[in-house]
Structure 1
Amino acid sequence: MSDPYDALETRSPAEREADQFGRLPQVLAKALTAPGWRAHLGDVDPAAITSRAALATLPVLRKSELPGRQKADPPFAGFLAEPLGAFGRIFASPGPIFEPEGQGVDPWCAARALHAAGFRAGDVVLNTFSYHLVPGGFILDSGARALGCPVIPAGPGNTEQQLDVIEHLRPVAYTGTPDFLKILLDKAAEAGRDASSIRKALVSGAAFPPSLRDHLRGRGVEAYQAYATADVGVIAYETPAREGLVASEEFILEIVRPGTGDPVPEGEVGELLVTSLDPHHPVIRLALGDLSAVLAGPSPCGRTNMRIKGWMGRADQTAKVKGLFLRPEQIAEIARRHPEAGRLRAVVTRADEQDVLTLRAESASPSEALGAALGASLQAFTKLRGRVEFAPPGSLPNDGKVIADERPVG
């Protein structure tokens, strides 16, 4: 690899393990100063956690538990190891889950992912991730500016205005969901607008199948994907090798059997855990609810860190739709608001390279008014638009699922 982001990306795996697990005891010691982490981790000796096997003995913290924990002990359930004033911004992601922004010029560890996607100093970036309450916009914004890239803070939507901005400022790079990039390019082609300045992209927050990647390439845009979480930032990213996602240097990743903290053999599909080595905001064995698997060996691009296959489904019923998490608790709130609708089931599919959300509702007396009310509640509780379909009472599967993710994997 002729142009790594830094020397960390090409060091030997043994050197990396020694460095990361040499730092981990200090990170754990800092975590134990926070009452939430102290109660969660229990009587652990940080000095003894110096290997993957030792790390695997610590309890798992499930992301799906955070809304309840934070509600019971606001604002962060005691999981901050520094005063709130030490953090830059505070976000409220769907769930709700409240997250603080860390310190430094690249607090979400996004710069190396952008670099791997070909972003370089001076590239003007159109950032279409949301800047409103959720951290998505700031994750990529801070990483791009750390690389020396001017950022247009466009946010999502407002397609016509965005095309005006593209024609005027001629950004060469895009960050956002792959679906919205396709929408922008399609609208530009339909309206005879010039969006040809965009030649590179880093996408996240939605499925990015090879068919969509090839479609964008045919439109002149070379797009790579990043795997990010609002809790810590970009934890893995695609490289020009196009063989899995390389783990970021700032995190320790594990693949475990869903519902446990037990590591699986290399290549076996399991749930992804992330441990952050940021001493200001330690996160220890956070279970993200996503399924993945480790790819054997280093990347052909020359980066030597662990590679994962990317997103392979959910270990629980939570689904990411159009860049936002859809949770069973949200569907339960809709059901409580509309008891006349009977059982509900949110179904996620793909059509025309975009996520499609359908709320299926059992009802003996379906009506346009009830359909409109359900659609409004769906948007209010999830921040997502979706269509409503009615089904006869007792016709939805009796399998305990309230969210069915029927999108193809891969």
Structure 2
Amino acid sequence: MADHYDDLETRDPALREAALFERLPDILRGALTAPAYAARLKGIDVESIRDRKALAGIPVLRKAELAALQKASLPFGGLVAEAPGSFSRLFTSPGPIFEPEAARPDPWRAARGLFAAGLRAGDIVLNTFSYHLTPGGFIMDSGARALGCAVIPAGPGNTEQQLDLIEAYRPDAYCGTPDFLKILLDAGAESGRDTSSIKRALVSGAAFPKSLQEAFFEKGIDAYQAYATADLGFIAYETSAREGLVVNEDLIVEIVRPGTGDPVAEGEAGEIVVTSLDPCHPFIRLALGDLTAELPGRSPCGRTNARIKGWMGRADQAAKVKGMFVRPEQVAEIGRRHPELGRLRLLIERQHETDVMTLAAECEAASRILAEAVENTLRSVTKLKGIVMLVAPGSLPADGKVIADERG
């Protein structure tokens, strides 16, 4: 059995990086034909965007902005030049956010992740992700069929009927949330139904703790996880190495400090930002609102792309203090106004029945004058009074958390 989907997965990382950034200017030129991207990229020489440093100069597009953009300019917020009729399927996700599916095989780049989970041509896949309006079911379906698998489009729920399908078709693999797989297995065990045909699983959409992974393994199921979104499809996927998630091909993934578009230091946690090289529906520096960190080195499985730790929490750490929202972007603005500061962390506590903010700021040369200046900036930016505590460089945790709400 082949270990890798194709030779792209094992190429030299420098060759991959060069290939991605050689294609990027073409993608940016195409994006300029969409009105919203034309406005966002105004004044930027797209021909010069040929490395990560140059890419970091483009403002991030926050996923949280998509619903408002699309409401103002239906259906795709002016970010897509193609007419809706040129796509194969048209979806909506909560928000609402409207998503088109490109008219090509494996449009969501799922086949690699399914292959890494052990799926092969001729396998039968029970797909329990929803096929109703949202792209989840079709993301897995299209990837599995690209591999030559037969797919049972089961969708979620209807446990008894799912058990009927399992006994009738004897699927080799499961796709869906880990929680629903547990429900199926438990229901099958309680009612004496045979679910033993399922030997592999690709799960997503919910936490997949090691305890649950081990519970599946005890039942003879080798389960892997994927990090995917309705906008981009498969972003990263687990492999047999079980050491983080390998970034998918045809994507440029950055880890940035929350509230900014600035890349973090190597290994530091931050927000996931993705640029997709999809000429039909490009995303240029889409900030997903999720935290992760890049792992050092290469995967023992032989794949040479970057690896991420997986989901580590939310980057959009907005908190309401005394009736007003405080956001990571505001903390980042304080850092911009005081470049002598390093990493920042805003701690929110409850003391004597009132909200108290303390901004911890790393600094080489602390002084009372600087602390007072930062306090004034904190008040100016947030419209709230807070305490500033200057600390030594490297003393704040590199966990991607910009606002720590400790009020319980």
- Shorter-chain TM range is 0.7 to 0.9
What is the CA deviation profile of residues 72-122 of structure 1, one whole-angstrom value per residue up to 9, with x for unaligned ones? Answer: 221111011222222111111011111111231100000000000000000
Q: d(CA) in 2 for partners of 1:43 and 1:142? A: 38
Q: Which one-letter code corresponds to 2:48 in the other structure?
A: A
Partner of 1:230: 230
Partner of 1:68: 68
Q: d(CA) in 2 for partners of 1:182 and 1:398? A: 43
Q: Give secondary structure in 2 for the equivalent of 1:126.
A: strand
Q: TM-score under structure 2 normalisation?
A: 0.78
1:9-408 alignment runs, 5 A limit = 9-316=9-316
Q: Which one-letter code corresponds to 1:151 in the other structure?
A: V
Q: Which one-letter code corresponds to 2:113 in the other structure?
A: A
Q: Which one-letter code corresponds to 1:78 in the other structure?
A: G
* 8 A Cα contact 2:84 2:90, kept in partner: no
* 8 A Cα contact 2:69 2:77, kept in partner: yes
Q: TM-score under structure 1 normalisation?
A: 0.77
Q: d(CA) in 1 for partners of 2:354 and 2:9? A: 49
Q: Which one-letter code corresponds to 1:97 in the other structure?
A: I
Q: d(CA) in 1 for partners of 2:42 and 2:269? A: 29
What is the CA deviation profile of residues 145-196 of structure 1, one whole-angstrom value per residue up to 9, with x for unaligned ones? Answer: 0000000000000000000000010001000000000000000000000000
* Shift in Å, 1:311: 0.2
Q: Give secondary structure in 2 for the equivalent of 1:132.
A: coil
* 8 A Cα contact 1:35 1:78, kept in partner: yes
Q: Which one-letter code corresponds to 2:51 in the other structure?
A: S
* 8 A Cα contact 1:81 1:282, kept in partner: no
What is the CA deviation profile of residues 220-250 of structure 1, one whole-angstrom value per residue up to 9, with x for unaligned ones? Answer: 1100000001111101000000000000002
Report the aligned-residue RMSD.
2.2
Partner of 2:326: none
* 8 A Cα contact 1:126 1:174, kept in partner: yes
Q: Give secondary structure in 2 for the equivalent of 1:259.
A: coil
Query: Max radius of gyration: which structure?
Result: 2
* Shift in Å, 1:39: 1.1
* Shift in Å, 1:36: 1.1
* 8 A Cα contact 1:204 1:227, kept in partner: yes
Q: Give secondary structure in 2 for the equivalent of 1:14.
A: helix
Partner of 2:5: 5
* 8 A Cα contact 2:31 2:37, kept in partner: yes
Structure 2 CA distance for partners of 1:113 and 1:58, relative to 1, 3 Å: same
* 8 A Cα contact 2:299 2:307, kept in partner: yes
Q: d(CA) in 1 for partners of 2:53 and 2:102? A: 28
* 8 A Cα contact 1:154 1:162, kept in partner: yes
What is the CA deviation profile of residues 243-279 of structure 1, one whole-angstrom value per residue up to 9, with x for unaligned ones? Answer: 0000000210000000100000111000000100111
* Shift in Å, 1:317: 5.2
Q: d(CA) in 2 for partners of 1:396 and 1:4? A: 57
Structure 1 gaps, min length 5: 319-327, 329-342, 344-394
Q: d(CA) in 1 for partners of 2:177 and 2:166? A: 17
* 8 A Cα contact 1:295 1:307, kept in partner: yes
* 8 A Cα contact 1:272 1:287, kept in partner: yes
Q: d(CA) in 2 for partners of 1:260 and 1:317? A: 13
Q: d(CA) in 1 for partners of 2:187 and 2:78? A: 47
Q: d(CA) in 2 for partners of 1:2 and 1:111? A: 14
Mean Cα deviation higher: 80-89 or 242-251: 80-89
Q: d(CA) in 2 for partners of 1:122 and 1:397? A: 60
Q: d(CA) in 2 for partners of 1:44 and 1:140? A: 37
Q: d(CA) in 2 for partners of 1:81 and 1:48? A: 22
Q: d(CA) in 2 for partners of 1:91 and 1:314? A: 24
Q: d(CA) in 2 for partners of 1:14 and 1:128? A: 38
Total equivalences in the alignment: 329
Q: Give secondary structure in 2 for the equivalent of 1:36.
A: helix
* Stretches (4+) displaced over 6 A: 395-399
* Shift in Å, 1:130: 0.2
Aligned-residue sequence identity (percent) comes to: 69
Q: Which one-letter code corresponds to 1:305 in the other structure?
A: N
Partner of 1:360: none
* 8 A Cα contact 1:201 1:222, kept in partner: yes
Q: Which one-letter code corresponds to 1:122 in the other structure?
A: G
